Structure 1
Amino acid sequence: MPDFSDEAEVTRVAKRDTRAELLARRHALTGPARAAAAGRVQAELVALVRRLRPRRMTAYVPVGSEPGGPDLPAVLRAALPSGAELLLPVLRDDLDLDWAAYTGPDGLVAAGRGIREPIGPRLGVTVVAGAELVVVPALAVDRQGRRLGRGGGSYDRALARVPTATLTVVPLHDDELVEALPVEPHDRPVRAVVTPADGVRALGGGPGTAYGVAPHTSAGRTRGQ
């Protein structure tokens, strides 16, 4: 049942305003700045994939100013071990996420809102539970691992199916790792972020360090946030 309390409304308004501010910052990034950030994020994620060697992982196709660049799936797939599977999300009518295997750029189609999705067989909403590495988008993440998405709730539903021991990672621009974010009960935390300046860092006391991911500390680049 939706929460209609004053406190819940304050949180929703705070989320809306924070989203608007973060999106404005992303839109203000120059083309060269976006390209440089995408290259660094890709390099860090490739190093992580090669270290973990997952047999199945998930990612997505970044759009617009999202960190990672539109060729992120191709880069990650090339880093996977032979026979491993990269799954990408397929947005359902109810805003939940189905999943399908990424087979290459020619296997993607436009799906509205700038999103590109795989055309292969749908594997079901629960297949994400079997992924060994889960890469998800967000506008920002705080130091406890709480993420702020675009408001549809799709990834919160998907993350609810992911075992707590699974490494979940969000690519961000450098100023999008913040001290705290407004949070609601349905919001699902992530275990790590990757930024151009600091690479992959574990958050919130999660299991990231068990995967060789360094913990985030106050020495990380969080100035001006």
Structure 2
Amino acid sequence: MHDIVSKTDLRTGMLERRAIMTPEERATAGRSLRDALLSVPEIEMAGTIAAYVSIGTEPDTGSLLFALWKRGAYVLLPRLLPDGDLDWASYEGPDSLTPGPRGCPEPTEPPRGTGAVASADVVLAPAVAIDRTGMRLGRGGGSYDRALARVGPAILTVGLVYDSELVDELPAEPHDQRVRAAATPSGGLVRFG
């Protein structure tokens, strides 16, 4: 129970820090993340990339998604299922999104199933914080832990966070899935062990 309480407190604190950032700061961070990620060799060569549409105060992924799509990558985006799991469908440009559950934009293309994420060459995941071992703190619903559990060990999984959200240590529970790298606006891609 100790970990759950501390994860909740950490999440609350991180989200409060995000809330005081200006829209300009978030936009600048999003552009820096886009530029850093577009030059990562695995992303440059990827045929299929599972990503996500940022919401609220998350680092902006809009221009990254568009750039990946224009580059010719097959971009998969999540669709939230009633049980909290993630189905996946293809991104066909900004006009292919519609509001989904909880206000999260989702692709309008036919769903490919929860296992579609396993076919991705790279997986980009949202995070509230990531520690130096790759432990990822999400929003608390477990959706991405389930999705990341389906991804093979050789696949690059990257959590996108602001600079201050790459921390030394986070509490972990047995179901928590690590990412293999974090991307920050100032540091670019940081790989873990």
The TM-score bracket by the shorter chain reads: over 0.9
Q: Is the CA contact 1:141–1:147 (under 8 Å) kept in the aligned structure 2?
A: yes
Shift of 1:138: 0.5
Provide the residue aligned with 1:42 in structure 2: 34
Q: Secondary structure at the match of 1:136?
A: strand
Tell me the distance in 2 between the aligned counterparts of 1:52 and 1:46: 6
Return the match for 2:141 from 125, 138, 152.
152
Q: Secondary structure at the match of 2:9?
A: helix
Provide the residue aligned with 1:73 in structure 2: 65
* Stretches of structure 2 lacking an aligned partner (at least 5 in a row): none
- What letter corresponds to residue 75 of structure 2 in structure 1? L
Q: Aligned runs of 1:158-177 on 2, under 5 Å? A: 158-177=147-166
Tell me the distance in 2 between the aligned counterparts of 1:51 and 1:159: 17
The structure with the larger Rg is: 1
Q: Is the CA contact 1:128–1:161 (under 8 Å) kept in the aligned structure 2?
A: yes
Tell me the distance in 2 between the aligned counterparts of 1:126 and 1:36: 34
Q: CA RMSD in A?
A: 1.4
Identical aligned residues as a percent: 46
Shift of 1:64: 1.4
Cα displacement string for residues 157-201 of structure 1 (whole angstroms, at most 9, x for unaligned residues)? 000000011000111100000000011000000000111111011
Provide the residue aligned with 2:47 in structure 1: 55
Return the match for 2:95 from 74, 84, 106.
106
Q: Secondary structure at the match of 1:170?
A: strand
> TM-score, normalised to structure 1's length?
0.82
> TM-score, normalised to structure 2's length?
0.96
- What letter corresponds to residue 137 of structure 1 in structure 2? P
Tell me the distance in 2 between the aligned counterparts of 1:26 and 1:105: 25
Tell me the distance in 1 between the aligned counterparts of 2:43 and 2:155: 15
* Stretches of structure 1 lacking an aligned partner (at least 5 in a row): 1-8, 206-225
Residue correspondences, number: 193
Higher relative contact order (CA 8 A, sep 6+): 2
Q: Secondary structure at the match of 1:23?
A: helix
Distance 1:59 1:69, change over 3 A: closer
Distance 1:190 1:51, change over 3 A: closer
Distance 1:49 1:107, change over 3 A: farther
Q: Is the CA contact 2:80–2:101 (under 8 Å) kept in the aligned structure 1?
A: no
Provide the residue aligned with 1:137 in structure 2: 126
Tell me the distance in 1 between the aligned counterparts of 2:63 and 2:167: 27
Cα displacement string for residues 68-111 of structure 1 (whole angstroms, at most 9, x for unaligned residues)? 343432122123xx4x3110000000100000000011110001
Shift of 1:113: 2.4
Provide the residue aligned with 2:18 in structure 1: 26
Tell me the distance in 2 between the aligned counterparts of 1:128 and 1:111: 19
